[in-house]
């Protein structure tokens, strides 16, 4: 996909990188990336992917901008309060890089729409803040054969990984799935949300920016993939650590005796609670 003269000037610093160059930038322009959540992680993700020249960004989020979002959700502004997050993010991206097409989904991702939405994109970046959505996104990406760059944060820490459970390592072993890393969600109430425990805004920025970098690497083929590894970040130390993770033959999605064959496992119970980890 050819670059225009204006794009050549805009992406000049990328074009100077031997590992990226014109071919890599053309891959970015042709890419379609879905970002799940336009919040803390989604903000740096969307900003850096747009600035990098990803041709089409999908944004899915059913929330509106509130004042307490602005401490970390830097894609939104004070003037955005009350707006749908997807529309606020679309406006910011349009100002940052008019060459990027934005497709918005002002809905909550669920078992009924996940397969259709995710199949429209080449790669998915998950910035959601709850386990139900994380399991749903990872399962849907597996069935669609889409690479998933996943991240999560705590008050002063975070982690990220790349998931390709439909692919195999050099020795023929499957790459791990999200269910290999987290066989089941923790009991309700045991892991406080950021609205309960708080979160340092800049920590979300660090992890979201690292996540954007891994998406760009997957698109361009630069460097080594994080598939099969988790990158841990501790802001208090400060410290980065990389841990290798492997395929779990007992996991219910890609194990030796799989029990999950479609997204119906993510049905909503009569009480309104997602039942994806039953």
What count of other Cβ atoms lies within 10 Å of the Cβ of residue 236? Answer: 10
Look up the pTM and report it: 0.94
Mean pLDDT across 35-39 = 97
pLDDT tens per residue, range 100-148: 999 999 999 999 999 999 999 999 999 998 999 999 999 999 999 999 9
d(CA 167, CA 178): 14
194 is catalytic: yes
Residue 120 domain-assigned (yes or no)? yes
Alpha carbon distances (Å) from 48 to 8, 11, 53, 208: 17, 12, 9, 9
> Does residue 207 belong to any structural domain of this protein?
yes
Averaged pLDDT, 238-248: 97
Phi, psi of 79 (to 5 degrees): -70, -15
For the stretch 181-194, pLDDT in tens is: 999 888 877 777 77
Instruction: Answer yes or no: is pLDDT of 202 > 90.
Output: yes
Average pLDDT, the chain: 93
pLDDT at 278: 27
User: Is residue 228 one of the residues assigned to a domain?
Assistant: yes
Annotated catalytic residue within 3, 194, 199, 206: 194
Residue 6 lies in a domain: no
> Residue 206: which domain range?
12-266
Residue 2 lies in a domain: no
The answer to the question of residue 278 being in a domain is no
CATH number for the domain spanning 260: value is 3.40.50.720
Give domain status of residue 277, yes or no.
Answer: no
Instruction: Write the pLDDT tens digit of every residue in 110-123.
Output: 999 999 999 999 99
How many domains does the chain fold into? 1
Tell me whether residue 273 is in a domain.
no
CA distance 233 to 157: 5
Quickly state the pLDDT bin for 268 (edges 50, 70, 90). Answer: low
């Amino acid at each position: 996909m050819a670059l225009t003269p204006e794009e050549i000037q805009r992406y000049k610093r990328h074009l100077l990188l031997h590992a990226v160059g014109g071919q890599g930038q053309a891959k970015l322009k042709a890419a379609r990336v879905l970002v799940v959540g336009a919040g803390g992680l989604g903000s740096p993700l969307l900003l850096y992917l747009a600035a990098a020249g990803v041709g089409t960004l999908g944004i899915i989020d059913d929330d509106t901008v509130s004042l307490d979002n602005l401490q970390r959700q830097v894609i939104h502004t004070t003037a955005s309060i009350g707006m749908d997050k997807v529309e606020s993010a679309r406006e910011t991206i349009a100002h940052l890089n008019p060459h990027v097409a934005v497709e918005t989904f002002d809905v909550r991702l669920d078992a009924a729409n996940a397969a259709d939405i995710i199949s429209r994109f080449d790669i998915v970046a998950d910035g959601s803040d709850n386990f139900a959505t994380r399991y749903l996104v990872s399962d849907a990406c597996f069935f669609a054969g889409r690479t998933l760059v996943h991240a999560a944060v705590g008050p002063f820490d975070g982690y990220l990984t790349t998931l390709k459970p439909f692919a195999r390592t050099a020795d023929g072993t499957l790459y791990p799935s999200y269910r290999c890393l987290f066989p089941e969600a923790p009991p309700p109430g045991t892991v406080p949300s950021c609205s309960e425990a708080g979160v340092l805004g800049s920590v979300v920025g660090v992890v979201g920016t690292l996540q954007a970098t891994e998406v760009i690497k997957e698109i361009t083929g630069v460097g080594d993939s994080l598939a099969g590894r988790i990158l841990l970040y501790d802001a208090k130390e400060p410290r980065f650590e990389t841990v290798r993770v492997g395929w779990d033959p007992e996991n219910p999605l890609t194990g030796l005796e799989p029990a999950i064959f479609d997204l119906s496992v993510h049905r909503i119970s009569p009480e309104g609670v997602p039942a994806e980890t039953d």
